[in-house]
Amino acid sequence: MTNPVDLVEIWRNDLLECVHQGHAVVCDEAGEIIHAWGDPSAVIFPRSSCKMIQALPLLESGAGAHLTTEQLALSCASHQGAAIHTDRVSAWLKDLGLSDDDFRCGPQTPSDKEAREDLIRAGKQPCQMHNNCSGKHSGFLTLNKHIKGHADYEKLDHPVQMMGKAAFEETTQETSPTYGIDGCSAPNHACTVHGLARSMSFFASAKETGDLRQQAAVKLRNAMMTYPELVAGETRACTDLMRAMDHKVAIKTGAEGVFVAIIPSLKMGVALKIADGATRASESAIAAILVKLGVLDAKHPAAIARMAPQMHNWRGIHVGFTRPSAALL
């Protein structure tokens, strides 16, 4: 990954202690670059930031025609494993006539504190429904049942994943050069930062009166904006910032410092990658870009908490701060 630029700074007292570098792109309706930092052609794994792309076949195929807006939000989610998530996933599986054993995402200890402590008190182990990707995998199972595919829907050559790859390459307008296996066992296809932003601009400019894919994109982005608490969870950046923007922008994080944004009012898409994979930097950078584009109020508490958080030590003493770099601003 060549030619990254400084995007986020960490200061302790009056000394610059750490700099996070990376790449970021903002695309217009045509997929053309409006703003860029670093190298737009840097090849990355989008990780969980591309879940809305992976969910397109669910709606385009007709498999998800009966799904609720909440279920569509969950299909794009990296959730906390809280009851509001697992209760809905459990009900979804029941509707499909399936069980936790039909998932291929693997068990994961919930990051939601209450859910985690409830499991400990009950002497139970986490199951696959607690996996942060269980909503996405519920979508995969729904599509798989519709096409009557074999049980191992997470395999690279399974029709479910082949449909997902086609949607990925068509919306990024790139041929993916490689793939990796994500934490949830599904393949994750690589693209450039520009390609990922281009795909997000497609979601941002899609119309309800457009073709089948555009209609699917509108439903997915609207679901994310309507239910930000299902996309991530309480205290999470995705949830807090979507609420701060009055549910008018859809944003999604991905592992290893990736973040995307879908801005329907401007018909713009955003993608960024922090080179060292730091979440604190990706959250600061996406907040700064959203402020720059005029869709996030810099004075909103959620914006301040992510873009320029203050650092305090264990005694509560203020010791430093995070801020976006001059180049990003």
Model confidence band, residue 253 (pLDDT cutoffs 50, 70, 90): very high
List, for residues 166-213, the tens digit of each pLDDT value: 999 999 999 999 999 999 999 999 999 999 999 999 999 999 999 999
Q: What is the CATH number of domain 5-324?
A: 3.40.710
CA distances from 239 to 50, 120, 251 (A): 16, 26, 9
pLDDT over 80 at 1, yes or no: no
3 state SS for 118-140:
HHHHHCCCCCHHHCCCHHHHHHH
Tell me the domain boundaries of the chain.
5-324
Model confidence band, residue 329 (pLDDT cutoffs 50, 70, 90): confident
Query: 51, 77 in Cβ contact below 8 A?
Result: yes
Q: How far apart are CA 142 and CA 120, in angstroms?
A: 31
Predicted pLDDT of residue 111: 96
Query: 252, 49 in Cβ contact below 8 A?
Result: yes
Token pair of 216, please?
């699917």
Report how far Cα 285 is from the mean position of its chain's Cα atoms. 15
pLDDT over 80 at 316, yes or no: yes
Between strands 310-312 and 33-37, the pairing is unpaired
**pTM, full prediction:** 0.97
List, for residues 269-308, the tens digit of each pLDDT value: 999 999 999 999 999 999 999 999 999 999 999 999 999 9
